[in-house]
Structure formats: C-alpha cells, structure tokens
Structure 1
C-alpha cells in the first residue's frame, strides 16, 4: 500500500469520526434545548434531570449490558478466526480502555455540581 492511499484512508476515517462526533454533540444540544423549552427554564430542566437520575442510571446500565453482550459475541468470533497473541493483546487493551472510560464517565456523575 503506498503512502498516498494510506493518507487518504486515514483522512477519510478522521473525517468520519469528526462528523459523527459533531452529530452526537448537536443531538445532545438539541435535546437539552428542547428539554429547557418544555419545562420552562434551565433551572427546572436541571431539577427534572436530577429527579429522573435513577431512570437514566437504569437506561445506561441496560445500554452497558447490551454493549457487553455484543462485545462478547464479537470477541468470540474474532478469537475463533484469529487466535494469535497479538489479537488477544489488542482485545485486552481495548477492553481495559472501555471499562476505564465507563468508570470515569460514571464516576464523574458523583462529582459535585459547580
């Protein structure tokens, strides 16, 4: 593979990552703006979010469970196809990074609000 093709592939991949990240951020902003509009003001929106924190926790736990099941299924298929030590090491690094990210995200919920 020549350098131009590799650079083009990386540029395309980066563009897609940035596009999806931007879409997720825009969706989050839109949900918050609609929520603020529906309940009246930002303070009432914050109170509504605080009152429903338990529901959102259950929702996140369900998402984590479905994601873990999908990861386990994919992992088993990948290990059957390629059982090399490099693949195992790559999977372990990815799993550690994912668990660390989830712990940090959920831990940030426990921080006091400014």
Structure 2
C-alpha cells in the first residue's frame, strides 16, 4: 500500500493485487513520487532507492512529471538535483487521492 499524507492524516492508496504480490501501476508510482517530494525535496537516487524503482522507469517517471510541470528540479550547489512537487502537482495528487478513495476503496 502507498501512504500519502494530507492535512497530517494518512490515507492509503489501494494497489492492484495479483496473486500474493501487490503491484503498482504507473499512476501509483507517479503519486508516490509526488507525495514524497511534497513532504520534502528529494534527490533522484533517494527516490529510486526508497520507492524501489528501476533506474530507467524512475527516470522516465521523473521526466514525465517535470514535463507536465507537476514536479520541479532545483539544482543544488553541488552536483545533486533536488525534486519538489509544484502547486499543480499538489492539486493533481489531491485529485488522484479523491478518485482512488471514492471509487476504489478496498473491500
């Protein structure tokens, strides 16, 4: 399950279940990235490690979010780039949360 924090209350995004394993779809992963970068700016390596993403899929998701202006990259003084959720990304995350909790509640 994916945890997203809103107004200091956690809610859980239901994940598709196949067999005994939970699988995330692309939208779940995008929401996880937005939620994580909403709480605090994160580096690409932190996101890939803690969200358990492969390098290629993680980079593709981050690039998609940046191109959609849902995530912004802020270069640091060092070689690291930090990612932060934009206001548009926050609105998209809230809409995603409302959709998943309204129509796809776990039984």
Output the TM-score relative to the length of structure 1. 0.29
Q: Which has the higher contact order (CA 8 A, sep 6+)?
A: 2
**Structure whose residues are more often helix by fraction:** 1
**Larger strand proportion, structure 1 or 2?**
2
